[in-house]
Amino acid sequence: METGRHGEVDIRAEPAVLVSVRLRDDDADADASVRELQALAETAGVRVVGTLEQRRAAPRGKTYIGKGKVEELAAMCRELSAKVAIFDNELAPSQIQELEKALAVKVIDRSELILDIFANRATTRQAQLQVEIAQLEYTAPRLRAMWSHLGQVTGGAPVGVGTRGPGEQQLEIDRRIVKAKLDKLRRELGEIEARRSREVLQRREEHFTAALVGYTNAGKSTLFNRLTRGGAFAADKLFATLGTRVEQWNLGGGNAAMLSDTVGFIQRLPHHLVASFRATLEDAIASHVVLIVLDASDRSALMQHETVTEVLDEIGASTQPRILLLNKCDRMRESWIPEDGADRRLEEWMARVPDAVPISAVTGQGLDELAARVLALMKGDTRTCVLSLALSEGRAVDFLEKRVPVRERRWTDDGRVELTVEIGRRQLEQLLSGGARMTVDGLPAHEGLRSLWPPPPRAAPVRERPHDSFAVGE
Ligand SMILES: Nc1nc2c(ncn2[C@@H]2O[C@H](COP(=O)(O)OP(=O)(O)OP(=O)(O)O)[C@@H](O)[C@H]2O)c(=O)[nH]1
Ligand SMILES: [Mg+2]
């Protein structure tokens, strides 16, 4: 079925002009935005033949850009034989209609471009469904504009409030078809998500989980492949990764965490996509620690960092510790030197976020420190205590011998072993939640745990948050 994307555009086939309107006099941001639109267009396979920029205090209602600019753009499209104009700004359906009429080319906006990239990249069923739902939701409101437009060009009955021309009837039919299709897709996606959700929670129960998150192209998949046995697709493209991958990450000393790699973020992500991809980000939301991968060599690193922390807060990944990784340290020098010639970017980041870790996923710089930091978080606060276990608790004894410094061993006559260990809180909790039976300093295990790490005198008031069930018990 034709979903009414105001006439399907194969944006890869036709030469395109990029249009960027700067609403504020904020050059740094606007430059980054134009560069990003360019990168998005390249990723989508668009052949860009020209770029038009305009400064405006506010968008002009009917066509977004001013009348003179519309004429200039029309002339530019004619001269360059462009068939598509891609706007960096979000356009209303009626603005697209007006612009297409005036320019005689296809007009799409940034959201639609991103949706197009996602649609071409989605390989898992979950990602495909997410994209399809977002596209239907995004284009459904445009149906009215499309049909009223059609009414005019075909000379059909005028379509306005209170009239029911042929376009209006068709619109109703299309709406119903779209709604039925959306219901069906949402049901299928719901089933996949429920299954994934169970997996995520189970993984969290059984392992210490770390999630790589960050702006698109920051180097998450490259880092993931370096830290684990790999398998993630990494490329110099925006949105190379659209699904989630999880692999074991050896932290040293027999300790391992489960590491996840996922879809990257971008500023002004179409909000339908955020909603659709929330489930893909579930690993990050539920993880014990969030590792923010930042391309510190990128000129827009500040904006990218802001975007990432905003999205993390928005999706509810705000209870666990975050570690900022200043990636691509190896190419700081070659990437860009500030005007005064002195590159102090790393120092500035370290001043801003003192516990950030400079790394390079390519050369391996800083990755030992990263593992040590995550291991420390995984162990939690350590204490020395005596654990007494029945010899039949083979798995637990094995865990302790492999992962925890054991200071003393004593076998008692009643078939038990007493181990004096230096153990982290999380490790002890993990043993107990795995069903190990033991005493801690002669006390029943949970009582012993509480006496080693007494709860704070009065619990802080619990704030209502949708994801409190995932809160980390560090
Ligand atoms: N020089 C250098 N390049 C890097 C480093 N890390 C990643 N890259 C390059 O950056 C590009 C993007 O890497 P990816 O790992 O695909 O990035 P990503 O964050 O997974 O991107 P998305 O999946 O699109 O969100 C690739 O060309 C990598 O080779 C690094 O530490 N140094
Ligand atoms: Mg990736």
Ligand 1 centroid–CA 248 distance in Å is 20
Atom 30 of ligand 1, nearest CA residue: 328
Rounded to the nearest angstrom, the distance between the alpha carbon of 362 and the centre of ligand 2 is 14
pLDDT at 321 over 80: yes
**Among protein residues, the one whose CA lies closest to atom 24 of ligand 1:** 239
Pairing of the two strands 438-440 and 382-390 = antiparallel
Hey, whose CA ends up nearest to atom 8 of ligand 1? 219
Q: Spell out which residues line ligand 1, taking CB within 6 angstroms.
A: 214, 216-222, 234-236, 238-241, 264, 327-328, 330-331, 360-362
The fraction of the chain above a pLDDT of 70, given in percent, is 84
> Please, which pLDDT band fits residue 465 given cuts at 50, 70 and 90?
very low
Q: Where are the domains of the chain?
A: 15-121, 124-206, 207-377, 382-452
Select from 3.40.1350, 3.30.70, 1.10.150, 1.10.1240 the CATH code of 382-452: 3.30.70
- What span, in angstroms and rounded, lies between the C-alpha atoms of 346 and 356? 10
The residue whose CB lies within 8 Å of the most ligand 1 atoms, and thus the one to mutate among 40, 42, 221, 329, is 221
Q: How remote is the CA of residue 1 from the centroid of ligand 2, in Å? A: 32
Q: Which residue's C-alpha comes closest to atom 9 of ligand 1?
A: 219
Note the pLDDT of residue 466. Answer: 41
Name the residue at shortest CA distance from atom 16 of ligand 1.
Answer: 234
Nearest ligand (C-alpha, residue 39): 1
The Å distance, Cα 225 to ligand 1 centre, comes to 11
Whose atoms come closest to the Cα of 263: which ligand?
Answer: 1
CATH of domain 15-121: 3.40.50.11060
Mean pLDDT throughout 368-390?
Answer: 92
> In angstroms, what is the span from residue 121 Cα to ligand 2's centroid?
12
Q: Residue 186: is its pLDDT beyond 80?
A: yes
DSSP structure string for 220-237: HHHHHHHHSS------SS
What average pLDDT does range 123-139 have in this prediction? 84
Nearest to 263 by CA among 288, 285, 286, 238: 238
More confident site: 241 or 148? 241
What confidence score (pLDDT) does residue 188 get?
94
87: pLDDT confidence band, cut at 50, 70 and 90?
A: very high
> Does the domain formed by 207-377 have CATH 3.40.50.300?
yes
- Where does the pLDDT of residue 341 fall: very low under 50, low under 70, confident under 90, or very high at 90 and above? low
Q: Whose CA is nearest to atom 32 of ligand 1?
A: 328
C-alpha of residue 237 to centroid of ligand 1, in Å = 8
**What pLDDT is attached to residue 231?**
74
Distance CA 377, CA 208 (A): 9
Determine the residue type at 91.
Answer: L
User: 110-124, 140-154, 264-278, 408-422: which has the highest mean pLDDT?
Assistant: 408-422
How many Å lie between the centroid of ligand 1 and the Cα of residue 434?
37
What is the pLDDT confidence band of residue 161, given thresholds at 50, 70 and 90? very low
pLDDT tens profile 11-25: 777 899 999 887 765
For residue 351, the CA-to-ligand 1 centroid distance in Å is 25
Beta bridge partners of 473: none
With bands split at pLDDT 50, 70 and 90, how would you rate the model's confidence at 162?
A: very low
pLDDT at 322: 95
Question: Which atom of ligand 1 is least distant from the CA of 293?
Answer: 19
Classified as helix, coil or strand, 13 is: coil
Confidence check: pLDDT of 469 > 60:
no
Which-ligand-closest: CA of 293?
1
- Asked if the model's pLDDT at residue 94 lies above 70, the reply is yes
Residue 171 pLDDT exceeds 90: no
Distance (angstroms) between ligand 2 centre and the Cα of 122 equals 13
Question: CA-CA distance, 349 to 344, in Å (whole number)?
Answer: 9
* Atom of ligand 1 minimally distant from the CA of 238: 24
In the structure encoding, which two tokens stand for residue 117, read together? Answer: 């990239």
Confidence of residue 123 (pLDDT cuts 50, 70, 90): confident
Question: Left (φ > 0), alpha (ψ -120 to 50) or beta: where does 289 sit?
Answer: beta
**Strands across the sheet with 255-261, in order?**
245-252, 255-261, 209-214, 289-295, 322-327, 357-358
Are 15-121 and 382-452 in the same CATH fold? no
Ligand 1 atom nearest the C-alpha of 216 is 25
Q: Is the confidence at residue 361, as pLDDT, over 50?
A: yes
Confidence at 358, pLDDT banded by 50, 70, 90: very high
Q: Taking 90 as the threshold, does the pLDDT of residue 458 lie above it?
A: no
Q: What is the mean pLDDT of residues 50-70?
A: 84
The model carries a pTM of: 0.78
The arrangement of strands across the sheet holding 15-22 comes to: 47-55, 15-22, 84-87, 106-109
Q: What is the DSSP letter of 373?
A: H
Q: Are 122 and 130 in contact (CB under 8 A)?
A: yes
The mean pLDDT value of the chain amounts to 82
**Environment class of residue 442 by beta-carbon count within 10 Å: exposed (0-12), middle (13-18) or buried (19+)?**
exposed
* Among the bound ligands, the one closest to the CA of 325: 1
| Ligand 1 nearest-atom number relative to CA 214 | 19
Q: Which ligand is nearest to the CA of 214?
A: 1
Which pLDDT belongs to residue 219?
Answer: 96
| pLDDT tens figures, 383-430 | 999 999 998 999 899 888 877 889 999 999 998 999 999 998 888 988
Ligand nearest to the CA of 227: 1
Best probe residue, ligand 1, of 213, 222, 242, 304 (max atoms within 8 Å of C-beta):
222
Question: 117 C-alpha vs ligand 1 centroid, how far in Å?
Answer: 18
Q: What is the pLDDT of residue 339?
A: 66
Give the tens place of pLDDT for each residue, 272-300: 677 767 777 888 888 999 999 999 999 88
239 CA to centre of ligand 2 in angstroms: 7
Residue 216 CA to ligand 1 centre (angstroms): 9
What's the pLDDT tens digit per position in 213-265?
999 999 999 999 999 987 778 888 787 887 788 999 999 877 889 999 988 88
Q: Closest ligand 1 atom, CA of 224?
A: 15
pLDDT at 152: 45
* Amino acid 342: pLDDT: 66
Alpha-carbon gap, residue 109 to 87, rounded angstroms: 5
Left if phi > 0, otherwise alpha if psi is -120 to 50, otherwise beta: which for 6?
A: left
> What pLDDT does residue 4 have?
36
Nearest CA owner, ligand 1 atom 13: 219
